């Protein structure tokens, strides 16, 4: 679901809500109790809208989010991200209205405000505002599953890292030789051909004292601030891979998106809105020269879009040139996630260092940072880091005690996961033996 709130916000936020709606095939909001997969709505400037019929923008933070895997082919895995969201007739009416309006393609630029006004008129301003924030009242829940990021986007295939085996059945995943569950890693885009290809992707923390090497495969990064980066204390991590079929004249282009357990509605709104306006203007050529306010909004959006995520804007924001491209020489600080990566040869090995500042989040905060890279406009790879903010070098005794209790709780959860994996393995062995004996 996507909302705008005309007439009740100051100029700064008004910039963010000026999101143009472009034509797309119409879809219908999912009903309460339904589970739908890869259901995408109209393009509103940020790519295809997800979670149609959910109350809130896109798939709001109020949705329960889960990640699971399905076995695919002889050795690969399919990553499934699911959102179980509160829904209401008013939220479904809003998205159905938007789909029908855009499908008719009559005054599509006004569809958003027209549908917002219709819901406010039918259900009242108070309820409509609560739905904008992803809150209730609800009349049910809907589960949305996604295995790709857009209707035309390729579906990524994952694999188990070296030393781990794939486990299918009730509990799908990767199991290391010691019985512990480990995170699958990106393998390829099976449907994409004729472009740069990678293999042997490794992601994880950098080795202490050696910032040019990854120590261990892990999607989890413990952000404890034991190192120093531009902007303050930080933790360094990265990715490395082999590659072939690349054009050295064109760099690898990477973008990031971040989901956080912290409630930063305004920060997320600013970042998403800035990206939306910048993307819309790039697609349409931007406002007319005589439209001074439109030009100002567009310039503001480009600056916001130059940051990687809300919490990174203060360290990675930069000015832009006349074409809207970031001026790297004027960037406040190096971006935590490189946006452009030079390719030295048609084939070889690449190591990409990254970092996360530790002072931007409270202890216990968990951020999921997804990185997607393309080469000459074609998708090449994607990976996810789970950033856990831990105690820094100046932690108080109370903070240390809270961290100790959290660590104990996580240890219990891992023990339960390992026990479930062992039980599944035993059941598979029993089933195989039963089939062999003809029981």
Residue 23: pLDDT band (50, 70, 90) is: very low
pLDDT score of 22 more than 50: no
Alpha carbons 118 and 327: distance in angstroms, whole number: 43
pLDDT score of 408 more than 90: no
* pLDDT per position as a tens digit, 379-401: 999 999 999 888 765 666 666 66
Predicted pLDDT at 132: 84
How large is the C-alpha radius of gyration of the chain? 23
How does strand 185-188 pair with strand 157-159? antiparallel
pLDDT score of 330 more than 60: no
pTM to 2 decimal places = 0.72
Residue 402: pLDDT band (50, 70, 90) is: low
Q: Which residues pair with 254 in a beta bridge?
A: 373
Q: Which residues pair with 389 in a beta bridge?
A: 223
Q: Which residues pair with 199 in a beta bridge?
A: 242
Tell me the backbone φ, ψ of residue 380, rounded to 5 degrees.
Answer: -120, -45
Which residue has tokens 């109209």?
A: 42
Predicted pLDDT at 305: 57
Tokens of 91: 């939220």
Predicted pLDDT at 24: 33
Q: Which residue from 46, 228, 26, 221 is spatially nearest to 115, judged by alpha carbons?
A: 26
**Strand order from edge to edge, sheet including 252-260:** 220-223, 378-389, 366-375, 252-260, 340-341
Highest mean pLDDT, choosing among 24-38, 64-78, 159-173: 64-78
Alpha carbons 157 and 244: distance in angstroms, whole number: 18
pLDDT score of 9 more than 60: no
* DSSP structure class, residue 154: P
* DSSP structure class, residue 101: H
Mean pLDDT of all residues in 344-369: 87
The ranges assigned to domains in the chain are 11-68+81-146, 192-389
The percentage of residues in the chain with a pLDDT greater than 70, rounded to a whole number, is 68
Span of 49-53, 172-176, 228-232 with lowest mean pLDDT: 228-232
Mean pLDDT of all residues in 199-208: 93
pLDDT score of 7 more than 90: no
- Assign 109 to helix, strand or coil: helix
Tokens of 79: 């990553």
Alpha carbons 117 and 110: distance in angstroms, whole number: 11
Alpha carbons 39 and 48: distance in angstroms, whole number: 9
* pLDDT per position as a tens digit, 110-134: 777 888 899 999 999 999 989 988 8
- Assign 392 to helix, strand or coil: coil
* pLDDT per position as a tens digit, 216-273: 889 999 998 888 887 788 899 999 999 999 999 999 999 888 777 655 555 555 555 5
Tokens of 351: 């190591």
């Amino acid at each position: 679901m996507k909302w705008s709130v005309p007439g009740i916000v100051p100029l700064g936020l008004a910039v963010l809500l000026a999101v143009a709606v472009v034509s797309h095939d119409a879809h219908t909001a999912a009903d309460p109790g339904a589970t739908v997969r890869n259901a995408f709505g109209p393009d509103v400037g940020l790519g295809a809208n997800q979670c149609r019929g959910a109350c809130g923008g896109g798939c709001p933070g109020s949705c329960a989010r889960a990640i699971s895997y399905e076995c695919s082919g002889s050795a690969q895995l399919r990553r499934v991200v699911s959102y179980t969201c509160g829904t209401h007739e008013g939220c479904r009416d809003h998205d159905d209205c938007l789909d029908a309006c855009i499908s008719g393609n009559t005054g599509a630029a006004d569809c958003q405000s027209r549908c917002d006004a219709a819901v406010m008129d039918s259900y009242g301003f108070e309820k409509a505002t609560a739905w904008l924030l992803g809150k209730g009242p609800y009349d049910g829940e809907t589960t949305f599953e996604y295995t790709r990021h857009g209707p035309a986007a390729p579906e990524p295939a994952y694999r188990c890292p070296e030393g781990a085996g794939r486990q299918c059945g009730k509990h799908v995943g990767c199991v290391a030789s010691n019985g512990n569950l480990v995170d699958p890693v990106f393998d390829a885009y099976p449907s994409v051909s004729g472009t740069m290809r990678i293999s042997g992707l490794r992601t994880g923390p950098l080795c202490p004292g050696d910032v040019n090497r990854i120590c261990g495969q892990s999607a989890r990064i413990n952000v404890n601030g034991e190192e120093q980066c531009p902007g303050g204390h930080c933790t360094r991590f990265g990715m490395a891979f082999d590659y072939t079929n690349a054009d050295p004249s064109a760099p690898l282009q990477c973008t990031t998106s971040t989901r956080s357990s912290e409630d930063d509605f305004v920060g997320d709104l600013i970042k998403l809105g800035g990206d939306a306006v910048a993307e819309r203007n790039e697609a349409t050529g931007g406002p007319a020269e005589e439209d001074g306010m439109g030009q100002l909004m567009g310039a503001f959006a480009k600056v916001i879009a130059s940051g990687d995520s809300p919490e990174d804007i203060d360290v990675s924001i930069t000015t832009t040139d006349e074409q809207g491209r970031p001026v790297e020489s004027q960037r406040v600080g190096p971006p935590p996630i490189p946006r452009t990566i030079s390719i030295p040869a048609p084939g070889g090995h690449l190591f990409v260092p990254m970092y996360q500042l530790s002072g931007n989040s409270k202890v216990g905060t968990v951020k999921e940072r997804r990185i997607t890279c393309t080469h000459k406009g074609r998708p090449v790879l994607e990976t996810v880091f789970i950033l856990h903010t831990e105690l820094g070098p100046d932690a108080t005794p109370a903070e240390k005690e809270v961290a100790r209790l959290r660590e104990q709780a996580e240890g219990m959860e891992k023990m339960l996961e390992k026990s479930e994996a062992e039980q599944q393995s035993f059941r598979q062995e029993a089933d195989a033996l039963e089939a062999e004996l003809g029981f």
